[in-house]
Amino acid sequence: MHRPGSILALVAAATMSAACPRAMRLVAHQPLYDLLVSNRNSHSVKRFDGQTGEYVDDLVAAHAGGLTETQEVLLGPGGNLIVSGLGNAAILTFDRRTGEFLGDFTSGYALDQPTKMTWGPDGNLYVSQWGASHTTVAVFDSDGAFIREATPSLSNPMQQAWDAGGTLYVATFDSRDVRRFDPSGALIDVFVDDDRLEGPVNLFFDDRGDLLILDWRSRSIQHYSGTDGSFIDFFTTDVNRPEGWTIGPDGLLYVSEWEGNTVKRFDPDTGASLGIFAQAGGLSAPNSVLFVERLPDFSLTLATDRLELSRGQTGSLELTVDPVRGLPFTDDVQIECTSSVSAVTCTPEPATLVPGDAGGTVTLTVRSVGSASTSLGGPLGGALLAGATGLVLLLWCAEPRARWSRWPAWGVVAVSLILVASCGGSSTGPSPPGPGPGSTVVGRLDITATSGDLSRTVTATVAVR
């Protein structure tokens, strides 16, 4: 059976830092996967743990972006998800990590009840339609722009496949057969025309070049010759309305059961059933399955989200950075902290979490700059300024000779006192703006963690008295 070439690879990353010896190590981990299942009756895409089959969440929420009667889920060229819905006139795009709707993927052509879609060997997207006005296979380029219709009108076309020579095969549900087309869209022949086929929905070629067909109506997967389309045997009959298949990271065949509301596993060589893999989360008419490598993600948690300081005081907050669902960091995680209060600074330590870290705690040191209690800019500063000025005038009015002979000594003292008093007694210059006596300034601390294209932010409140 055909194994996609992108399955199962060890990822290794090495980072070196003279300032951080713990970063000098080789990090290797086994990729983790999620199983995405299109859920027709809830108009959503459900996510399951690809290792255990445990339900995680609805990655694409019900009706997100107007999604209606979900049909097929694929990875798009940019790594996000593209999804077809029977009630949509375009293929929709969703963020692969969050499920957020990103807009229409296809353009230049109004799809009429789009259902199965496949990336062709030419890099184009092939989409079958079940509409009243269009029952063809439409073709779009990798940017989603319409190119042409690859077939004439068919009797409810479903999934597409290509043989080693690049010939297009289409399963047609209501004519109960598989048809071949040349590059111009002309029919070559009806390749599989067998009474055992009652409602073909999916088809693919295995490692031997034979054709496997998922038949919805007969509740079976059937095995045909890839040379002449003749029937070989029933691959399995242990499926309840099969629709949607994929080869998993473990090399097994995964099939969604439209009526059984489960995802089952099969031995790809013998067809032996290996039981149910996923069935929770409210599956209702699942009709496509897709394994995707889990992307690194993390959450940020503050031990407390409020800090109160007096002027000149230093405090701290604790930030916990946790990888989501056990996937170690593959890129540096940079921590930054900014304050909306000009007299407050915030410094993270450590400022970087390195690849391979399974989370960690970051201490945020928060300082309120300056101190009203030690400033000489108040009454004491005023007294010093007046005294220094008086000393200068007194000595200046003395006998001229004494005036100049004593200048080196008393001049330095007097000028120094004036400067100290006028600067408020601070070695760092004037105190920054802050609360006056008895007042409190309340501001915001934004703590942001960034890793590659992923960014997460939490907010704390700081009050300076």
For residues 388 and 366, state if they share a domain. no
Inside any domain, residue 265: yes
Specify if 27 maps to a domain: no
Cα–Cα distance, 416 to 80 (Å, whole number): 67
User: Are 161 and 218 within one domain?
Assistant: yes
- Provide the edge-to-edge strand list for the sheet that holds 81-85: 70-75, 81-85, 92-94, 101-104
pLDDT digits (tens, 9 = 90+) for 429-465: 444 444 555 578 898 999 999 988 788 899 999 999 8
C-alpha distance from residue 102 to each of 6, 65, 90, 229 (Å): 25, 8, 13, 41
Flag whether 284 is in a domain. Answer: yes
Give the end of a domain, one of 293, 325, 350.
293
- String of DSSP letters for 72-89: EEEE-TTSSEEEEETT-S
Query: Would 207 be classed as within a structural domain?
Result: yes
Kindly state whether residue 246 falls inside one of the protein's structural domains: yes
The answer to whether 332 touches 456, Cβ cutoff 8 Å, is no
Residue 21: inside a domain, yes or no?
Answer: no
Question: Given this model, what pLDDT does residue 343 score?
Answer: 85
Number of structural domains (the chain) is 3
Alpha-carbon distance of 136 to 147, in angstroms, equals 13
Strand ranges for 350-418 from DSSP E: 352-353, 360-368
Residue 17 lies in a domain: no
Could you say which of 293, 326, 354 is where a domain stops?
Answer: 293
Taking residue 91's Cβ as centre, other Cβ atoms within 10 Å add up to 25
Question: Cβ distance 11 to 254 under 8 Å?
Answer: no
For residue 145, the cross-strand partners are 107
The whole-angstrom separation of Cα 2 and Cα 205 is 7
Q: Is 380 helix (H, G, I), strand (E, B) or coil?
A: helix
**pLDDT given for residue 375 in this prediction:** 37
Both 104 and 52 in one domain: the answer is: yes
Exposure pattern of 139-174 as b/e (b: 16+ CB <10 Å)?
Answer: bbeeebebeeebbeebebbbbbbbbeeeebbbbbbe
The secondary structure element, H or E, covering residue 129 is: strand 125-129
The boundaries of the domain holding residue 338 are 298-371+434-464
Q: What is the mean pLDDT of each run of 10 residues along the chain (465 residues)?
A: 36 31 40 95 97 96 98 96 98 96 98 98 97 96 98 98 96 98 96 98 96 98 98 97 97 97 97 96 96 88 92 92 76 90 90 76 89 42 49 49 47 47 42 57 92 88 91
What is the CATH classification number for the domain harbouring 365? 2.60.40.10
Tell whether 58 and 179 lie within a shared domain: yes
Same domain, 308 and 210: no
| Extended beta strands in 340-453, E state | 344-349, 352-353, 360-368, 441-451
Q: Name 427's Cβ contacts closer than 8 Å, sequence gap at least 6.
A: none
Q: Does residue 304 share a domain with residue 278?
A: no
Q: Please tell me whether residues 268 and 409 are part of one structural domain.
A: no
Same domain (yes/no): 351, 393: no
What pLDDT sits at residue 311? 87
Helices 412-422 & 379-396, crossing angle to 10 degrees? 150
Which sign does the torsion angle of CA 327, 35, 290, 114 carry? negative
Identify the pLDDT of residue 255: 98
pLDDT confidence of residue 298: 82
Answer yes or no: do 287 and 352 share one domain.
no
Q: What's the CATH number where 154 sits?
A: 2.120.10.30
Same domain (yes/no): 363, 404: no
Paired with 451 in beta bridges are 454
Q: Which of residues 293, 328, 346 is at a domain's end?
A: 293
Say if residue 234 is in the same domain as residue 344: no
Helix, strand, or coil (residue 409): helix
- pLDDT tens digits along 101-125: 999 999 999 999 999 999 999 999 9
pLDDT at 184: 92
| Confidence at residue 224, expressed as pLDDT on a 0 to 100 scale | 98
Residue 9 lies in a domain: no
User: Is residue 282 domain-shared with residue 147, that is, in the same domain?
Assistant: yes
DSSP-based three-state secondary structure for 316: strand
The single-letter DSSP state of residue 21 is G
